[in-house]
């Protein structure tokens, strides 16, 4: 299902195999071999699935970068794993917004060249230019595309038609996907892989210390999670089958983008490994109107539906009518993923979307785990709104206190897992020491999730949120250090601290404190400048909701920023607990009196 409701197509398993073989031959002709890394920067179109499966067929590692990320983010990921080839798209529409992806890809490749690394080939899917492909035109430029703007109810707006500009073309580097596929054979013997051979790399956020202008700040660094062929495939196939109670006649739909782990596991690999019929959706939940998801459910008779709490909270705002005007009679199981779901959203999802007849599987897992770790089983587990419930088969969770002691019965502390499972990540690409330090050093003998957790008297697990410097914005994990790094790169900013703030739709949003360099003045123009810098360095998803001028930050006498106190200030919560270690208490009073006006 494309961005527009009339943009639909379907593909059989046989047709998919042919396209995968063809593109595998294309990659082989470009010199891609087993163990090579291939970057993919694409919207949710069929060619994205073909590209990742072709890499898997050759034993090459795909590194998919979410199409909402910036050129800088793409550049960093290409450099970290030395990708020799990039696959992208001319452009795409996300709702009414045109995203010139080829322009961003060109900018990323130029940044790579400036840093001494050249990607030898960029393969471009002519996505917006598909209409001309039947004309025999092999022009190296995409044609203008005209589309009518629509309002939120799907009615045409009285606006001029949009015209898609010509894209740039780099001879000798850029190649059209369709031209290369036209020349490729439709049979390709796969490379045989060991179960522990790597399948793909997917990047998460982390941080490392580096001084800037005599102020010690955290600078962003990325970590490539590596999953392997055998264990990952076994785990996603099994969790998909049992968590969603999959049957051959089902139509499955996971709304996640393939640029995230949920899309890898439960859009591509899990469903395909079970021979499932599934929906791939390029658009957004509110375009051309706010009933789009339920229209698609009826259109394809979706039986199992998997989405994020962010989408549920967003659609709740528009009331029940956009949902109830559609039948939804085909739905049997509902799922949530990406972040803990608040009870209010859970109840709306159950009562309105599922008409009180569909069990909800609220799943907890991570990029690093590969697949579901804590989850109810539909029809078998009594449900509690907001609880990730019980461990999947063979998964062994535990709750530890600060001393690393296991807590029994009702307890709250660090969520860990005490034995391995097939889908566990095997390493951080190129940095196994970091892998061991991040996940196993704090509590030797346990896998450290980085999440806090509470276990109730019935043995149900409740995720309480990140315990490290991470934010969960609209189901996407962001490093506070990553955002702080983008802020302090601005010439006006001497120091920055970023904390989470509750948001009625996104779950969490970013609240930033910035200390300016001498000679600079805080102003609305500077705020917009800082937001623009973050969008360019990381992507629109990291744009802060609030930026507060902070002449000073609350610190211990050793110079450590007290983020716990900043979180309280951001939420206007004066119950600060023990502040005896604050070097200058007057800083706290000043920040409270000048905090941003926020919404809960």
Residue with tokens 């196994």: 432
Superfamily for domain range 197-467: ANL, N-terminal domain (3.40.50.12780)
CATH of domain 1-128+170-192: 3.40.50.980
pLDDT tens, residue order, the chain (600 aa):
999 999 999 999 999 999 999 999 999 999 999 999 999 999 999 999 999 999 999 999 999 999 988 999 899 999 999 999 999 999 999 999 999 999 999 999 999 999 999 999 999 999 987 877 653 333 333 333 334 334 434 444 444 355 565 789 999 999 999 999 999 999 999 999 999 999 999 998 543 333 233 233 333 345 899 999 999 999 999 999 999 999 999 999 999 999 999 999 999 999 999 999 999 999 999 999 999 999 999 999 999 999 998 889 889 888 899 999 999 999 999 999 988 887 888 999 999 999 999 999 999 999 999 999 999 999 999 999 988 678 888 899 999 987 899 999 998 888 999 999 999 999 999 999 999 999 999 999 999 998 888 899 999 999 877 776 667 787 776 777 778 878 988 999 888 889 989 888 888 899 999 999 888 999 999 999 999 999 998 889 899 999 999 998 898 655 667 888 999 999 999 988 767 667 788 999 999 999 998 876
Q: What's the CA gap between 568 and 595, in Å, rounded?
A: 11
* Domains 1-128+170-192 and 197-467 alike in fold: yes
Task: Return the CATH number of the domain spanning residue range 474-594.
Answer: 3.30.300.30
The whole-angstrom separation of Cα 55 and Cα 202 is 14
Kindly report the length of the chain: 600
> What does the block give as tokens for 166?
């010509």
Q: Which two tokens stand for residue 261?
A: 């782990």
Give the C-alpha separation, 187 to 91, whole Å. Answer: 30
CA distances from 535 to 77, 101, 328 (A): 17, 15, 37
How big is the chain by its Cα radius of gyration, in Å?
24
Q: Domain map of the chain by residue range?
A: 1-128+170-192, 197-467, 474-594
DSSP string, 140-196: SSPPP-EE--B-TTSPBPSSPPEEPPPPP--TTTEEEHHHHHHTS-S--PPPP--TT
Distance CA 326, CA 508 (A): 30
CB atoms within 10 A of CB 595: 17
Residue 26 near residue 33, CB atoms below 8 Å = no
């Amino acid at each position: 299902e494309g961005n527009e409701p009339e943009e639909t197509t379907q593909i059989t398993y046989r047709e998919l195999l042919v396209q995968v073989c063809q593109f595998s031959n294309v990659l082989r002709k470009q010199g891609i071999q087993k163990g090579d890394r291939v970057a993919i920067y694409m919207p949710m179109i069929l060619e994205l699935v073909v590209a990742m499966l072709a890499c898997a067929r050759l034993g090459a590692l795909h590194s998919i970068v979410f199409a909402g990320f910036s050129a800088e983010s793409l550049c960093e990921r290409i450099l970290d794993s030395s990708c020799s080839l990039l696959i992208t798209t001319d452009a795409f529409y996300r709702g009414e917004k045109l995203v010139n992806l080829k322009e961003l890809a060109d900018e990323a490749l130029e940044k790579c060249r400036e840093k001494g690394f050249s990607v030898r080939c960029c393969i471009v899917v002519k996505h917006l230019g598909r209409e001309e492909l039947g004309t025999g035109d092999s022009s190296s430029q995409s044609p203008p595309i005209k589309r009518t703007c629509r309002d939120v109810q799907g009615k045409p707006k009285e606006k001029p038609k949009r015209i898609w500009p010509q894209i740039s073309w780099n001879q000798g580097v850029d190649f059209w996907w369709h031209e290369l596929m036209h020349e490729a054979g439709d049979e390709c013997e796969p490379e045989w892989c060991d179960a522990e051979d790597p399948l793909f790399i997917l990047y998460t956020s982390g941080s490392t210390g580096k001084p800037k202008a005599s102020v010690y700040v955290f600078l962003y660094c990325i970590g490539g999670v590596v999953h392997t062929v055998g264990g990952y495939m076994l785990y996603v196939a099994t969790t998909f089958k049992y968590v969603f109670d999959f049957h051959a006649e089902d139509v499955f739909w996971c709304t996640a983008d393939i640029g995230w782990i949920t899309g890898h596991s439960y859009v591509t690999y899990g469903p395909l490994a079970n021979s499932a019929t599934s929906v791939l959706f390029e658009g957004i939940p509110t375009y051309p109107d706010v009933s789009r998801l339920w229209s698609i459910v009826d259109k394809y008779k979706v039986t199992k539906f998997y989405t994020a709490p962010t989408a549920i909270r967003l659609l709740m705002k528009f009331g029940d009518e956009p949902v109830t005007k559609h039948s939804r009679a085909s739905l049997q199981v509902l799922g949530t993923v990406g972040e803990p779901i608040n009870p209010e959203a859970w109840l709306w999802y159950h009562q309105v979307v599922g008409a009180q007849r569909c069990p909800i599987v609220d799943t907890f897992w991570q990029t690093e785990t590969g697949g579901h770790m804590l989850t109810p089983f539909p029809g078998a587990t009594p449900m509690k709104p907001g609880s990730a419930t019980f461990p999947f088969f063979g998964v062994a969770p535990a709750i530890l206190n600060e001393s690393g002691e296991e807590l029994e019965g009702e307890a709250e502390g660090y969520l860990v897992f005490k034995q391995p499972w097939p889908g566990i990540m095997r390493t951080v690409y190129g940095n196994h020491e970091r892998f061991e330090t991040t996940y196993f050093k704090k509590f030797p003998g346990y896998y450290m999730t980085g999440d806090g957790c509470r276990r109730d008297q019935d043995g149900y697990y409740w995720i309480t949120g990140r315990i490290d410097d991470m934010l969960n914005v609209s189901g996407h994990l962001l490093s506070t250090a990553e955002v702080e790094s983008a802020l302090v790169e601005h010439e006006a900013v001497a120091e920055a601290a970023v904390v989470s703030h509750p948001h009625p739709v996104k779950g969490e949003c970013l609240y930033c404190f910035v200390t300016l360099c001498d000679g600079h003045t805080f102003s609305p123009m500077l705020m917009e400048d800082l937001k623009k810098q973050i969008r360019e360095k990381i992507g629109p998803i990291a744009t802060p909701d609030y930026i507060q001028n902070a002449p000073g930050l609350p610190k211990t006498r050793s110079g450590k920023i007290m983020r716990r106190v900043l979180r309280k200030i951001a939420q206007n919560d004066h119950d600060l607990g023990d502040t005896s270690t604050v070097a200058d208490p007057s800083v706290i009073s000043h920040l409270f009196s000048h905090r941003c006006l926020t919404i809960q």
